[in-house]
Amino acid sequence: MGVVDGKRAIVTGSGSGIGRATAELLAAEGANVLIVDIDAVKGEAVAAGIRERGGNATFQRCDVTTSADCLAAVRTASDVFGGLDILCNNAGIIRRADVVETTEEEWARVMAVNVTSVFLMSKHAIPIMAAGGGGAIVNTGSGWGLKGGDRAASYCASKGAVVNLTRAMAIDHGPQRIRVNCVCPGDTDTAMLRDEAHQLGASEASFLADAASRPLARIGTPDDIARAMLFLTSDASDWVSGATLVVDGGGLA
* DSSP class per residue in 126-173: HHHHHHTT-EEEEEE--GGGTS--TT-HHHHHHHHHHHHHHHHHHHHH
Report the first-to-last Cα separation within the chain, whole angstroms.
36
Distance CA 191, CA 28 (A): 23
Strand order in the sheet with 86-89: 56-61, 32-37, 8-12, 86-89, 135-140, 178-185, 244-247
- Is 31 an annotated catalytic residue? no
155, 182, 224, 225: the catalytic one is 155
- Residues taking part in catalysis: 155
